C-alpha cells in the first residue's frame, strides 16, 4: 500500500473529499460532521445495555439536537486550538438558508459550528481529537442526565 492509499484508508470509506478541508465550504463540513457525529452517538448508545429501538432513537435525539450541540460546543470552546476556533467561527457565520422549526437561530448557528468542527476533524484525520471531544460531550450529557 503506498502512502496515498494509507491516508485514504483512514477515512471510513474510500471517498476522500474533492478539496482540502481548509478550502471546503463550512456548510459542507457541517453536512459530513452531522453524519459522523450521529454515527458516533449511535455507536455509543448501542454499546450500552438498553438497546430497545425506541429507547435508542429517543436517546440519540437528545444528543444530536441543536440545543445539545450548542451546549457541547460551549464545553469545547476553552479546549480548542486557534485553528479549531477559526473553523467554529466559520461554521457559526456560514449562511445555510434555513433554520429548523425546533431550534432558535443562535442555537442552530452554534450547532452548525459544532458539526463543522466535527467534519473538519474527520476530514483532517484527527480521529483521536474527534473521539476525545465527543467523549467529553457524552460525559457531560451523562452527568446532567444520570437516569437516561
Residue 33: CATH number of its domain: 1.10.1520.10
C-alpha dist (Å) from residue 21 to 27, 53, 124: 12, 35, 7
Geometric angle at alpha carbon 35, from 29 and 36, rounded to 5°: 85
Residue 98 scores a pLDDT above 80: no
9 within some domain: no
User: Could you give the CA distance from residue 43 to residue 66 in angstroms, rounded to a whole number?
Assistant: 19
Cβ contact 115:30 at 8 Å:
yes
Residue 6 scores a pLDDT above 70: no
80 within some domain: yes
| 128 in active site | no
42 within some domain: yes
22 within some domain: no
94 within some domain: yes
The domain in which residue 92 lies consists of 27-144
Label residue 133 by pLDDT band (50, 70, 90).
Answer: very high
Cβ contact 120:87 at 8 Å:
yes
Number of compact structural domains in the chain: 1
52 within some domain: yes
Among residues 34, 86, 104, 128, the one annotated as catalytic is: 34
Higher pLDDT, 50 or 129: 129
DSSP state, residue 137:
H
Amino acid at each position: 500500500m503506498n502512502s496515498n492509499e494509507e491516508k485514504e484508508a483512514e477515512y471510513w470509506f474510500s471517498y476522500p473529499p474533492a478539496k482540502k478541508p481548509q478550502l471546503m465550504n463550512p456548510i459542507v463540513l457541517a453536512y459530513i460532521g452531522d453524519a459522523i457525529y450521529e454515527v458516533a452517538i449511535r455507536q455509543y448508545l448501542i454499546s450500552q445495555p438498553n438497546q430497545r429501538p425506541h429507547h435508542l432513537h429517543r436517546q440519540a435525539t437528545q444528543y444530536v439536537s441543536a440545543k445539545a450541540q450548542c451546549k457541547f460546543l460551549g464545553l469545547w470552546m476553552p479546549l480548542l486550538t486557534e485553528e479549531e476556533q477559526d473553523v467554529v467561527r466559520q461554521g457559526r457565520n456560514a449562511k445555510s438558508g434555513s433554520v429548523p422549526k425546533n431550534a432558535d437561530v443562535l442555537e442552530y448557528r452554534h450547532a452548525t459550528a459544532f458539526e463543522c468542527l466535527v467534519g473538519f476533524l474527520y476530514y483532517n484525520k484527527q480521529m483521536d481529537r474527534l473521539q476525545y471531544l465527543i467523549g467529553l460531550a457524552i460525559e457531560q450529557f451523562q452527568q446532567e442526565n444520570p437516569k437516561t
